[in-house]
Amino acid sequence: MLTVRRHLDARAFLARAEPWLLDAEIERAGPLSSARQASADDSRYERPMYWATIEEGDEIIGCAYRTPPFRVGVSALPRDAFAPLSLDLEKVYRRVSGFSGIDPAASALADIWIARHGGSSAIVSRSFLFSIGEPSGVGPAGTLREAIQRDAALAKEWGDAAAKESGIAALDGNLCVRLIGAGQLYVYHLNGVPRCLLGLLHSTARAASLAIVYTPGPERRRGYARAAIAALSMRLAERGVAKRYFHFDPANRGAQALAQQLGGELVQAGVDIDFR
């Protein structure tokens, strides 16, 4: 029987759900990172917070959380979880600011909440998570290397340009510079000239997620991004990173085309929804 099991705080939630979250650490990065941050210090959040696992028997099949004033976050959920989760949320909140997470669960829960409580909603952003497979075609014979501190100026310039083009302010030059220190930024060279920048937002021994791909305008449509990602995927595979993903805004047609060229498949779609 499906049940919504509410937990006292982030630490209790992690005690129950962390192994399940880590089993798909990229797909469930939202609840995992939020719970870890709140577990370390939840003083900046309003009360009450919400931490719940959706379980069938002794098995976790989904989760939901909220760190007010932010939206309710949800993992992928089966349809029969929507109604009981909505009812449980109503026991805690009279109002919420919106829903965020994996579709169709996030959209369905937002629709249920609006139907029961009134108001309207607006989609703020969408995202796709694609697996990285075997790229089609052979790209130019360039070289991929890990960025170092002397690349900071380039990382700042190209990161800011990428953020401006994508409209995703958080993925800017300052983030790219920080990724150098984490060993998660890469530069693709051809004939000694940098052609493409790659940034991993998530990288562990088991999984990695690529979210920054930038090629300057004059260098585009020459296969540099595809070749760079193929080289990065091979490098990660050699390190034993079995799960490799590409995370992007589906409104970016170039990223969509690139994801398909990489031979991957859609793993999940995410959405952020605000209430008015």
pLDDT in tens, 179-221: 999 999 999 999 999 999 999 999 999 999 999 999 998 888 8
Residue written as token pair 């799960």: 243
Does a structural domain hold residue 125? no
Give the whole-angstrom CA distance, residue 51 versus residue 10.
Answer: 7
What CATH number is attached to the domain comprising 51?
A: 3.40.630
Assess whether 78 and 147 both reside in one domain.
Answer: no
Does a structural domain hold residue 171? yes
What is the tally of structural domains in the chain? 2
Assess whether 74 and 101 both reside in one domain.
Answer: yes
Question: Could you tell me the residue range of the domain that residue 45 belongs to?
Answer: 2-119
Does a structural domain hold residue 274? no
Query: Which 8-state DSSP code applies to residue 177?
Result: H
Residue 137: the pLDDT is 59
- Give the SS3 label for residue 99: strand
Residue 169: the pLDDT is 82
The domain boundary, picked from 119, 146, 167, lies at 119
Residue 139: the pLDDT is 67
Does a structural domain hold residue 209? yes
The domain boundary, picked from 88, 119, 150, lies at 119
Assess whether 60 and 34 both reside in one domain.
Answer: yes
Assess whether 106 and 159 both reside in one domain.
Answer: no
Other Cβ atoms closer than 10 A to 13? 26
Residue 166: the pLDDT is 82
Assess whether 192 and 71 both reside in one domain.
Answer: no
Does a structural domain hold residue 275? no
Residue 4: the pLDDT is 98
Does a structural domain hold residue 177? yes
Assess whether 149 and 28 both reside in one domain.
Answer: no
Residue written as token pair 């790209």: 139
Assess whether 189 and 257 both reside in one domain.
Answer: yes
pLDDT digits (tens, 9 = 90+) for 131-144: 997 766 556 779 99
Q: Sort residue 26 into left (φ over 0), alpha (ψ -120 to 50) or beta.
A: alpha
Assess whether 162 and 191 both reside in one domain.
Answer: yes
Q: In the chain, which stretches have pLDDT less than 50? A: none
The two most distant CA atoms of the chain are separated, in Å, by 62
Residue 131: the pLDDT is 93
Assess whether 84 and 138 both reside in one domain.
Answer: no
